[in-house]
């Protein structure tokens, strides 16, 4: 069970069951006032072409059905609107029963029943994941036609309507049918699953020529496919003339293909094939047009299939017909395609045998304000004066190293007749490794741990490995001053305690006059030690930074007399006469051993000075002990200096 299959919210407060009951009681067919059968539901700009007539399925054919002989990726054909991206996503969806039954809920109840014509009310509902929640979209069954033919997505069977109805519900979410022209497969895959999409640029990664990288990518693609995720592939169109241009190999540029199978194919015949165990990495793709296939190696009629036994071919479902579906080796996929999109389902169920992720979802917004302390639209790092005014989120990696998945999604903009298609902002995010005890917003640059690309896509995704510690994510628009809402999703192996940082500095309270208020902020960065006393194999050492009753402790560095700690603490100090102490300890089985300490006296103008200091004992008259420690100190009377 995937956590994204949570409670569902009615879109525009339309209750499917309530509306259907009302229609049946009044013996009328439903007409949707929110998405009427008019040109406003077709176009947001321009004038219509041929006269479109909205017709119900019973007026288009005899014996209409939601499904004819079940649901299949072969059902779909792209119509007049340029939404191959959506049709490709539908093709992928059709191959996943658990997923399409979420998008098409109660499908048996929604199916036409010829024996009970009075039970039909001309109303359907479909569910999509939008901006952190599942929404239930109600539509009527009136579909746009010209000459009694569906003009948009349609099925092989004239009396099968599931894909046309799903497309209508999706067009309603977007504002109109025209809004589906030239979209993004990654967005549709996320909307169908609640997963996260990871785009991969095959050209930039040079996967065609780097066998090791290609093999690694294939294993990741195979894992996403085997765990129920959805995948698509495309070839970039650089110019308008390139769009939907057919290459000599049969593939089409600027066009989204659904990946319908991923497998290692056994070569050879009979028992010999099992003993040789020679396998080929292969992918099956489908053109949403339902025709025009790849004509290179392993195409439907190629000689290569003689290398595969008949039983293996049957298992793979190899057919020799121009149905738009074909096999390719993964090497050829990397050579001819430019992009792959993997939409992985993030498993957060503790009952699963597969890896379980901890997910945090946080909603935020880029907002403008004249006061820099309240402005939250600072733009990317290129705008150094305003960058730290952006929203900030802190999270923790609690294992020595952990894989972290981060996705930021901007709220989709609905197309309107007056304003046209809503354009995405260029968005992205940076991740900084910060002090182990940070509680307030960042105000100066720290070590950049990772960063995403900046792109005018609805969502941006990053997968990164990070060592134990505390991190701050700063999501931004590329340019300052741009506003919009976003959803931040963070996935880690163990709970990350991810939350927004709202305060710039410690708040003043009624206790501040009694207990005092910080006069200075000090950041202590312990980099490394050298020459430590320890066993012949080196000490298992760690450091503790102490200041006014607060402690920050590093991870243990095992078996070395020259450990790299790279640990930071930030302290808001009330008693400036009290020194900050950095102690070095050796981890022992029974009792840890004190190896030495340094006492740091800081001034407000200590600006990132690097000090290499001798370790000393804890006596009143300190004496030097073996070893030195390298420490950077930054102090300021301004509490928003770090």
Angle CA(570)–CA(573)–CA(579) in degrees, nearest 5?
90
CA distance 573 to 551: 13
Full DSSP string of 542-591: EEEEEETTEEEEPPPEEEESS-EEEEEEEEEES-TTSPEEEEEEE--SSS
- Residue-wise pLDDT tens digits, 529-588: 999 987 677 889 999 999 999 999 999 999 998 999 999 999 999 988 888 999 999 999
Q: Say if residues 51 and 154 touch (Cβ distance below 8 Å).
A: no
What is residue 324's three-state secondary structure?
A: coil
- Respond yes or no: is residue 380 known to be catalytic: no
What b/e string do you get for 66-101 counting C-beta neighbours within 10 Å, with b at 16 or more?
bbbeebbbbbbbbbebbbbbbbbbbbbbbbbeebbe
Catalytic residue among 23, 77, 84, 343: 84
Number of domains in the chain: 4
Tokens of 147: 């000459």
Residue 157 lies in a domain: yes
One domain for residues 589 and 468: no
Residue 402 belongs to domain with CATH number: 2.60.120.380
Is residue 450, in this structure, part of any structural domain at all? yes
Decide: 635 and 536 in contact? Cβ < 8 Å.
no
Q: Do 160 and 82 share a domain, yes or no?
A: yes
Residues 141 and 217 in one domain: no
DSSP letters of 162-227?
HHHHHHHHHHHHHSSGGGGTT--HHHHHHHHHS-EEEEEETTTTTTTT-HHHHHHHHHHHHHHHHT
Catalytic residue, from 287, 347, 390, 586: name it. 287
* 8 A C-beta contact, residue 443 and residue 388: yes
CA-CA-CA-CA torsion sign (292, 295, 298, 299): positive
> In terms of residue numbers, what domain contains 209?
196-344
pLDDT at 84: 77
Looking at 291, 321, 344, the residue that finishes a domain is 344
* 83 in active site: no
Mark whether 616 and 532 lie in a shared domain: yes
Does residue 79 form part of some domain?
yes
Q: Which CATH number does the domain housing residue 625 bear? A: 2.60.40.150
Alpha carbons 398 and 123: distance in angstroms, whole number: 50
Helix axes 84-94 and 185-193, enclosed angle (nearest 10): 40
What's CA 126's distance to the chain center, in Å? 23
What's the pLDDT at 347? 77
Q: How far apart are the first and last CA of the chain?
A: 43
- Residue with structure tokens 């999706």? 170
Of 344, 373, 399, at which residue does a domain stop? 344
Residue 627 within a domain: yes
3-state SS assignment for residue 25: helix
| Structural domain contains residue 2 | no
Q: Are strands 76-77 and 154-155 parallel, antiparallel or unpaired?
A: antiparallel
CA 154 to chain centre: 30
Q: What CATH number does the domain containing 213 carry?
A: 3.90.70.10
Put the strands of the sheet holding 279-286 in their side by side order: 196-201, 339-344, 230-234, 256-266, 279-286, 325-329
Mean pLDDT score of the chain: 89
3-state class (DSSP) for residue 514 = helix
- Phi (first) and psi of residue 41, to 5 degrees: -85, -10
The structure tokens listed for 613 are: 């200091």
- Domain end residue (candidates: 450, 466, 501): 501
Determine how β-strand 539-547 pairs with β-strand 550-553: antiparallel
Asked if 404 and 549 sit in the same domain, the reply is no
Q: How many CB atoms lie within 10 A of CB 243?
A: 14
Tell me, yes or no, whether 262 and 295 share the same domain. yes
Which DSSP letter does residue 132 get? Answer: T
> Same structural domain for residues 178 and 262?
no
Q: Which tokens go with 322?
A: 């121009």
- Classify residue 278: in a domain, yes or no: yes
> Per-10-residue mean pLDDT for the chain, 642 residues long?
62 96 96 94 76 94 91 73 78 86 94 91 96 96 92 88 95 91 85 91 94 95 90 84 82 87 82 64 84 85 84 76 82 96 81 76 96 96 97 95 94 76 89 97 96 92 94 98 96 94 91 82 94 81 95 93 94 91 93 93 70 90 90 92 92
Nearest residue to 368 (alpha-carbon basis) of 481, 287, 468, 268:
481
Query: Quick one: 595 and 574 in the same domain?
Result: yes
Q: What is the DSSP letter of 268?
A: B
Give the integer Cα–Cα distance in Å for 600 and 578: 9
The residue behind tokens 């051993």 is 593
Q: What is the pLDDT of residues 476-514, one digit of tens each?
A: 999 999 999 999 999 998 999 999 999 999 998 877 777
Give the C-alpha separation, 480 to 377, whole Å: 6
Instruction: Please indicate, yes or no, if residue 482 is contained in any of the structural domains.
Output: yes
Task: Say which DSSP state 304 is in.
Answer: G
Reported as type and span, the H/E element at residue 451 is: strand 447-451
167 & 215 share domain:
no
Asked about 255 being catalytic, the answer comes back as yes
174 and 34 fall within a common domain? yes
Are 368 and 473 contained in the same domain?
A: yes
Answer whether residue 510 is part of any domain. no
Is the four-CA dihedral 133, 136, 139, 141 of positive or negative sign? Answer: positive
Q: Are residues 140 and 214 in the same domain?
A: no
């Amino acid at each position: 069970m995937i956590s994204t299959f949570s409670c569902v919210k009615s879109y525009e407060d339309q209750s499917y069951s309530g509306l259907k009951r009302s229609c049946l009681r009044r013996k009328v067919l439903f007409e949707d006032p929110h998405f009427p059968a008019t040109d406003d539901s077709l176009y947001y700009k321009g004038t219509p072409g041929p006269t479109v007539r909205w017709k119900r399925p019973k007026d288009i054919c005899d014996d209409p059905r939601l499904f004819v002989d079940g649901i299949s990726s072969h059902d779909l054909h792209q119509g007049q609107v340029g939404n191959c991206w959506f049709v490709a996503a539908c093709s992928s969806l059709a191959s996943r029963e658990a997923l399409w039954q979420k998008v098409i809920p109660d499908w048996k109840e929604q199916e036409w029943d010829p024996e009970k014509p009075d039970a039909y009310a001309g109303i359907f509902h479909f569910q999509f994941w939008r901006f952190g929640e599942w929404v239930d979209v109600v539509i009527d069954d009136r579909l746009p036609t010209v000459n009694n033919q569906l003009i948009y997505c349609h099925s092989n069977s004239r009396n099968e309507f599931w894909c046309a109805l799903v497309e209508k519900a999706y067009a309603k979410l977007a504002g109109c049918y025209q809004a589906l022209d030239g979209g993004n497969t990654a967005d549709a895959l996320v909307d169908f699953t609640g997963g996260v999409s990871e785009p991969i640029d095959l050209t930039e990664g040079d996967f065609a020529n780097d066998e090791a990288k290609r093999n690694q990518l294939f294993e990741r693609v195979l894992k996403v496919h085997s765990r129920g995720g959805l995948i698509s592939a495309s070839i970039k169109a650089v110019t308008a003339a390139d769009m939907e241009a057919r290459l000599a190999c049969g593939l089409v540029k600027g066009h989204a293909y659904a990946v319908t199978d991923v497998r290692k194919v056994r070569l050879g015949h009979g028992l010999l094939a099992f003993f040789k165990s020679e396998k080929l990495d292969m992918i099956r793709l489908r053109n949403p047009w339902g025709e025009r296939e790849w004509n290179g190696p392993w195409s439907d009629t190629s000689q290569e299939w003689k290398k595969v036994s008949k039983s293996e071919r049957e298992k793979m479902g190899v057919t020799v017909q121009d149905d738009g579906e074909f096999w390719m080796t993964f090497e050829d996929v990397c050579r001819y395609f430019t992009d792959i999109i993997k939409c992985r389902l993030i498993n957060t169920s503790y009952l699963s045998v597969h890896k379980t992720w901890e997910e945090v979802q946080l909603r935020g917004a880029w907002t403008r304000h004249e006061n820099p302390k309240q402005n939250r639209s600072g733009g990317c790092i290129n705008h150094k004066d305003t960058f730290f005014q952006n929203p900030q989120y802190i999270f923790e990696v609690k294992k020595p190293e952990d894989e972290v998945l981060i996705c930021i999604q901007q709220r989709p903009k609905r197309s309107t007749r007056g304003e046209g298609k809503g354009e995405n902002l260029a968005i992205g995010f940076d991740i900084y490794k910060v002090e182990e005890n940070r509680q307030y917003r960042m105000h100066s640059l720290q070590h950049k741990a990772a960063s995403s690309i900046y792109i005018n896509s609805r969502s941006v995704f990053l997968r990164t490995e990070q060592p134990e510690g505390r991190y701050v994510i700063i999501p931004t628009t590329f340019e300052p001053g741009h506003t919009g809402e976003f959803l931040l999703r963070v996935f880690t192996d163990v709970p990350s305690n991810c939350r927004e940082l709202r305060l710039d500095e410690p708040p003043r309270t009624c206790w501040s006059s009694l207990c005092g208020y910080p006069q200075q902020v000090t950041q202590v960065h312990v980099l490394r030690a050298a020459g430590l006393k320890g066993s012949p194999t080196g000490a298992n050492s760690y450091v503790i930074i102490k200041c006014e009753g607060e402690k920050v402790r590093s991870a243990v560095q095992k078996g070395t007399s020259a450990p790299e700690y790279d640990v930071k603490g930030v302290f808001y100090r009330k008693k400036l006469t009290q020194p900050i102490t950095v102690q070095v300890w050796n981890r022992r089985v029974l009792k840890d051993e004190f190896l030495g300490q340094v006492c740091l006296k800081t001034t407000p103008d200590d600006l990132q000075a690097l000090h290499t200091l001798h370790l000393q004992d804890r006596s009143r008259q300190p004496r030097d002990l073996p070893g030195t420690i390298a420490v950077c100190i930054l102090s300021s009377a301004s509490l928003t200096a770090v």
